[in-house]
Chain A
Amino acid sequence: MDMTPDDFPTSAYIGGEWVTSKDRFAVVNPATGLVIASVPDLTAADARRAIDAASAALPAWSAKTAKDRAAVLRRWNELILAEAEPLAQLMTAEQGKPLAESRGEVAYGASFVEWFAEEGKRAYGRTIPTTAASKRYVTIKQPIGVVAAITPWNFPIAMITRKVAPALAAGCTIIVKPAEDTPLCALALAKLAEKAGLPEGVLNVVTTRNARGVGEVLCADSRVRKLTFTGSTEVGKVLYRQCADTVKKLTLELGGNAPLIVFDDADLDQAVAGAMASKYRNAGQTCVCANRILVQAGIYDRFADALAKAAQSLIIGPGTGQGVNLGPLINAEAIAKVESLMADAVKRGGTVKTGGAKDAAGSLFYKPTVLTGVTADMDIVGQEIFGPVAALIKFETDDEAIALANSTPFGLAAYLFSQNISRAWKTAEKLEAGMVGVNEGIFSNEVVPFGGVKESGLGREGAAEGLDEYLETKFICLGGI
């Protein structure tokens, strides 16, 4: 296949059929403001049809062997990789991230499909030593059933495959409601899954602007046994409540407020490189981006200078531009939030070391920014920035850094930079976070468990833990032996 982005579908996908609707909504390129396509604006009734389809497909799909399911997933992986370039272009067009990052995400997204195709064969139960001679105890693993996935716009492919691949490998069927900003990548994935031979109804994609109405249907329907959501903590809490009535299993991957701690004994170059990767990737729009950069007094000025210099070297522009490594923010609300956080920080005494304003490249571009003199009373410390602003807070002692780092209801990612093994290990243990990068700014991949503690969520994605999220344990007692 030699596809172009235009070859990818603009219809929703339910029960193996490409579904249109008279109500449609526009998909906009955030770099240019131009409409690139429109997709069906489906309703709550359509969501119910998707649940019907997933329920109907469940018995046959869950009865297949892991090996048979793996064969389909492998073909899907190969098709995604074969179309990597048009998929990357499509992603940059609807999401805005630099093309190099889009290419990286396609490979990253496909890696979940490949890995779970393999891991699905390892859904072992256990035999448990008996407590009585006449009894035998065993456990087996079984698919949870119909799953609903609500996915975000910041990683339009990977956040879908990270949920869909383990669900399908486990024997579940699934309904995906992609973010309204980035429905095209979701539909492209569904197209490739169809080509890979995925039976009808196993994967369904419901595009809609009515996130609340469709979400309510997915949460209320008792046939849906599991909800998996990546997005804001605020929405996560609403979904959590809505799932209570049917006691659904939940995986929630919510917001973060990641601390990045630079100790005096850090390797300066390593720390700057790590902070750059963690902070400015995807224009700061990831849930694991360093939100608060805590720097020890002895290295603070040198670190701030070096980080500002590195930030100034970023090339800002449309993701398709030559050498561009900082694209636009996703939409007007995102820019407004960054501007409001910056205004508050400056009013309360923060100093803009570099950047600090919108960029001439377009209405959704914000300059890479380094802010020093940040203090705990500023809004930027308590809220997720989701933009290219590095907020530097000074600290004196290790205990102070750890207390600062943990003083948030969130607990997703954390980073620390130190050359001292004992300090690095002790700090990593004390940080209230689901993931810790030591001397490393980027750590996500398919083989490690991704997820948060506290209000950053429930459950883990990726790794063996990620498969277990879609399996139930059944205990069988064989008596009368």
Chain B
Amino acid sequence: MTSLAHFEALAGRIAIPSHAVIDGKTVPAQSGKTFANVSPRNGAIINKVAELDAGDVDAAVAAARRAFDDGTWRKMHYRQKKKILFKFADLMERDAEQLALLESLDVGKPIKDALAVDIPGSIKTLRYYAEALDKVYGEVGPETTDRISFAVHEPLGVIGVIVPWNFPLLMAMWKVGPALAMGNSIVLKPAEQSPLTALKMGELALEAGLPPGVLNIVPGFGATAGKALALHMDVDMIAFTGSGPVGKLLMQYSGQSNLKRVSLELGGKSPQIVFADCPDMNAAAVSAAWGVFFNQGEVCTAASRLLVQEAIADEFTDKLLKVAKKIVPGDPLNPTTTFGSMVSEEQMKTALRYIGTATSEGNTLRLGGNRAREDSGGFYVEPTVFDAVQPTHTLAKEEVFGPVLAVTRFKTPEEAIRIANGTIYGLAAGLWTRDVSLAHRAARDLKAGLVWVNGWDACDITMPFGGFKQSGFGRDRSMHALHKYADLKAISITLR
């Protein structure tokens, strides 16, 4: 049914969004400027997208503020709110194939993954928070003699959402879902590499009946539109997923402006630790390969460090390479492709530069290491594995955000934990062992916001997602994310 030809034809047929969504209307930039949106699949221009700057952001924030203050969304009857959010989800489901295609064209991820992971994950997230919106409980204080006290959650107001290009729609929905459910208004800036699904999302929200101004989409660049949002005096919070350096800038902008709340989901150098008593070597090898090569390694929780116990290191690395060799770059629009292109030429060059550094630092190249499919005009990098990486090496410390795995060997559990914790990051960590005591001890000792035992990325919307240390703070997913978009108010009534 679905084939490369099918998706190529569909790409020629569907309307590709290019306008911003502000105050219930699709609009061009006030300046009339646009930027070329390139597909990394073949280097071709998909379309020209409105390039917003500070003036447009002002208009979007003003619309969001009006919508919040007049209460059309915040004070809407909860059944009606749910109805609109469920309709929103239904419309995304109706257009799931189009959304998946836009995502794949925009960032080069396999259409197969966009169809199976990004779009259904986004829809599920929206439904989860739609269901949760009338289950936000406050507390009634225990003292009831001459005073009664309540602690209640109040929506913050206008939320600025800045999201990355690796899972454009899903990362947006992890923030938009709970922020909307809590009653806030939103100004969302997608990454300039991947504006399409965000723009489409804004249009679908209007179709679903979300009141004007509640969800505004402002495409543009970080240094202009993003900065204007982060410095805006009338934005109450910035919820960000992206790189560490930008995260630090956003905190500075908050300090320079109105002390807006900031939540940051940043990078990682996540370790996957395989102990000699690993209960299933084959499953662990698949997990070690796909943990880092899924989405071309452009995942904040990529298992970019494999720590393997000395006694099984040779055997396990061979197994891993056997799996990894079968992962071959292909055209993202071909439904059989499991590994696509990097998001941009720049990102490809970054990965190739790290590969060069690893080689020059004496790491042993076991697989890949090159650009691929160059004749397509796109930006592809082979799955790459380096062995004998020491904790002091660049590849063990810095986030590549590409398909490059660093294999490091260790002797004792204590050494493994020490190496695992020895970076500035603390997003995810995994371990494979049959030993119950070791699993519990190591899980608590690992400095990471997510720990997976005998599996990688084995959790869902019901569990909080976010990092320790310089991987950020604040959590997406679960009821914790909902509470992130609210302030606590303590009301005390003295009885007289």
Contacts and interface: CB of A to CB of B under 8 A. Distances in A.
Interface of A: 63, 65-66, 120-133, 138-142, 418-422, 424, 438-439
Given A420-B434, A422-B279, A126 B140 contact: yes
B495 to A, nearest CB: 13
Contacts of A418: 436
B453 A421 contact: yes
SS of A interface (majority): mixed
A138 B150 contact: yes
Contacts of B434: 419-421
Given A419-B435, A421-B439, A66 B134 contact: no
B315 interface: no
Contacts of B77: 131-133
Contacts of B79: 131
B143 to A, nearest CB: 6
Contacts of A125: 139-141
Contacts of A131: 77-79, 134
A124 B139 contact: yes
A391 to B, nearest CB: 26
A240 to B, nearest CB: 31
A128 B436 contact: no
Contacts of B78: 129-131
B139 A65 contact: no
B145 interface: yes
- Report the interface size class on chain B: 20 to 34
A139 B136 contact: no
B150 A122 contact: no
Interface of B: 75, 77-79, 133-145, 148, 150-152, 279, 433-437, 439, 453-454
21 contacts: A63-B145, A66-B142, A121-B142, A122-B142, A125-B140, A125-B141, A126-B140, A127-B137, A129-B78, A129-B136, A131-B79, A138-B140, A142-B144, A419-B435, A421-B279, A421-B435, A421-B439, A421-B453, A424-B436, A438-B436, A439-B437
B279 A124 contact: no
B140 A439 contact: no
Contacts of B435: 419, 421
A382 to B, nearest CB: 32
A380 to B, nearest CB: 31
A421 B453 CA distance: 10
Given A129-B134, A420-B434, A421-B439, A139 B454 contact: no
A438 B144 CA distance: 42
Contacts of B144: 140, 142
B142 A439 contact: no
B479 to A, nearest CB: 13
A419 B275 CA distance: 15
A85 B144 CA distance: 40
A139 B140 contact: yes
Nearest to A142: B144
A65 B146 CA distance: 10
Nearest to B436: A421
Give the one of B75, B142, B453 with max A CB within 10 A.
B142
Contacts of B141: 124-125
B75 A124 contact: no
B490 to A, nearest CB: 12
A122 B79 CA distance: 32
B140 A65 contact: no
B436 A127 contact: no
A200 B362 CA distance: 81
Given A129-B78, A421-B454, A65 B436 contact: no
A131 B79 CA distance: 8
Contacts of A422: 279, 454
Q: Considering the complex of A and B, which 7 residue pairs feature the smallest CB-CB distances, nearest first?
A: A125-B140, A127-B138, A123-B142, A126-B137, A124-B139, A129-B134, A421-B436
Nearest to B141: A124
A169 B375 CA distance: 76
Nearest to A125: B140
A127 B151 CA distance: 8
A16 to B, nearest CB: 24
Given A129-B136, A133-B75, A439 B436 contact: yes
B4 to A, nearest CB: 41
Contacts of A438: 436
Nearest to B134: A129
Given A421-B434, A424-B436, A439-B436, A126 B145 contact: no
B439 A127 contact: no
Contacts of B138: 126-127
B142 A141 contact: yes
A139 B142 CA distance: 11
Give the one of A123, A124, A420 with max B CB within 10 A.
A124
A140 B436 contact: no
Contacts of A66: 142-143
Nearest to B151: A127
A126 B139 CA distance: 4
Contacts of A123: 142
B434 to A, nearest CB: 6
Given A121-B142, A124-B140, A420-B279, 9 more contacts: A122-B142, A124-B139, A124-B141, A131-B77, A138-B140, A419-B435, A421-B435, A421-B439, A421-B454
Contacts of A129: 78, 133-137
Give the one of B78, B144, B279, B453 with max A CB within 10 A.
B144
Contact of B140 (A140, A419, A424): A140
A424 B454 CA distance: 14
A131 B134 CA distance: 9
A439 B438 CA distance: 13
B143 A127 contact: no
A140 B78 CA distance: 23
A149 B445 CA distance: 43
